[in-house]
Amino acid sequence: MRVGRIPYLNCAPVYGAIDRGIVPLDGELVSGVPSALNRQMAAGTLDVSVISAVEYAREAGRYVLLPDLAISCDGPVRSVMLFSTCAAPALHGQRVLVSRSSMTSVALLELLFEQVWKARPLFVPGDAEADDLRQNQPSVAARLVIGDAALMLRHPEHPVAKGHGQAYPFVYDLGAEWKSWTGLPFVFAVWVARRDVDVREALAVHGALIESRNWGLANLERISSEASAACQLPSAVVREYLSGLDYGLGLEYLEGLSEFFRRLERAGKVPQGKLVFLPAA
């Protein structure tokens, strides 16, 4: 089995015990940003993977969801951020650089502009997470940054923030914006298996991921401490970030996911579909 993983901090608790050899995984881990994993799953070169939630909505016929496993927030997410030179409603007609790495974040941003901020900016796909935020980039009024780069940019003591933070006085956390808009949690990513994979093998991978996730959540202090040096962020900041995420897929999160899909359907961005889960063997 080939199993996809995102090499961001937000996945560290899920793969923590697998990475350390505490929980065995009968498969090969393949790293990639969400958009790359989306493409590999669609091409059939991965069997099980975390993918963008909106990718599941667009291609639900290809996949089954793995139960009780997702990357979600109920309020601020801290790593999906719109950094802007002006208030969001004033971005009408202006260039907004959007990350090529996350389809869900871009889809949510489009909904917020259309239905909350009532503005129509010009979205420019690009490398919004580049270390040098001005290098090889067009002149933009705002940028959507995801993952570890967003954490770094929003932390005032990080070298990236010191160099560029003053350029973006307006900062929007998309998890918090969704919560304010709908009152619901938001699911950014889900784990899926292709419908044509062996169910028993997929269940074995799912079981290992759940066991590893449970170990990771019980050892967040260790994971945060070990991750802090690599990202140049204080351990307490990493711990606050990871503890603010939810890695299950409980009823309230399913409600948030379903509502996101309904709003995308009404906006004509995804086909009508339904949630289908991996069956028990």
DSSP code string of the chain: -EEEE--SGGGHHHHHHHHTTSS--SSEEEE--HHHHHHHHHHTS-SEEEEEHHHHHHSGGGEEEEEEEEEEESS--SSEEEEESS-GGGGTTSEEEEESS-HHHHHHHHHHHHHTS----EEEEE-TT-SSTTTT----SEEEEETHHHHHHHSTTSHHHHHHGGG--EEEEHHHHHHHHHSS-EEEEEEEEETTS-HHHHHHHHHHHHHHHHHHHHTHHHHHHHHHHHHT--HHHHHHHHHTEE-S--HHHHHHHHHHHHHHHHTTSS------BPPP-
Domain of residue 94: give its range.
80-182
What confidence score (pLDDT) does residue 229 get? 83
Which of 119, 153, 182 terminates a domain? The answer is: 182
Please tell me whether residues 106 and 165 are part of one structural domain: yes
Please state, rounded to an integer, the average pLDDT across all residues of the chain.
Answer: 91
Residue 280 lies in a domain: no
Residue 98 lies in a domain: yes
What confidence score (pLDDT) does residue 138 get? 52
Residue 173 lies in a domain: yes
What confidence score (pLDDT) does residue 164 get? 53
Encode pLDDT of 20-78 as tens digits.
999 999 999 999 988 899 999 999 999 999 999 999 999 999 999 999 999 999 999 99
Residue 281 lies in a domain: no
Residue 275 lies in a domain: no
Residue 274 lies in a domain: no
Encode pLDDT of 86-115 as tens digits.
999 999 999 999 988 888 999 999 999 999
- Asked if pLDDT for residue 179 goes beyond 90, the answer is yes
